[in-house]
Amino acid sequence: MEFSDRHIIVTGGTGALGSVVVGALLERGATCHVPYIVAAEAERFRFRGHERVKLLAARDLAEEASVDALYGAVAPLWGSIHIAGGFAMGGIAETGRAALMAQLEMNLVSAFLCCRAAVIGMRKAGGGRIVNIAARPALEPRLGAGMAAYAASKAAVAALTEALAQEVAGDGILVNAVAPSIIDTPANRQSMPKADHAAWPKPEEIAATILFLASPANAVSRGAVVPVYGRS
């Protein structure tokens, strides 16, 4: 779990889970490259100004040229953690093509392009670690009722993880994912005030699993989509 002198890209690193992941990586010596799209998020990012944090303006993580430019500026690249994504409720009758494509672009396309760029960089570096973020409905699709577009996009992230893990294992690149249930964040508590918040997995708990999968200590695990459900 030591990351000294290792460069890691964390998409979504300014968010609730992402900032916890970045903080844990910094404690272990990593240099974190954190893309952002909304300037206000970068302004209030609690690790802004840290000597081993590089905030990187990005146009769109579902745009190939933008992602390639972002990753091309980081070398040698050890780790790539893909937390950025999107969520939307909606029954299928209320979900048109535009809403479906938005979920696919925010979740699948962004993960695919970041994985692609990461593999190119990690092959040059001699290996590395990739961690994607799926979701519980990706492993238990019936829980995706009322949010089928989201569930399908995260299931695709899980499939991408397993296929890519097999493809790049010979390059010394280990690819895995975590699949959280509802995460215990202030925003989720506010939107679901009557839920059993104590049962939800905490960002720090999920971050611990992500860090192991992204670390040199993980020497053999690949192609896993790890449930991180807490007691929920």
Catalytic residue among 36, 71, 150, 229: 150
21 burial via Cβ count (<10 Å: 0-12, 13-18, 19+)? buried
As a whole number of angstroms, the longest Cα–Cα distance in the chain is: 50
The partner residues of 57 in beta bridges, in order of sequence, read: 36
Angle (deg, nearest 10), helices 16-27 and 203-214: 50
Angle (deg, nearest 10), helices 110-125 and 64-72: 30
d(CA 218, CA 129): 9
Let me know: does 82 contact 8? Beta carbons within 8 Å.
no
d(CA 144, CA 142): 5
Query: Is residue 71 among the annotated active site residues?
Result: no
Helix (H, G, I), strand (E, B) or coil at 227: strand
Residues with a catalytic annotation lie at 150
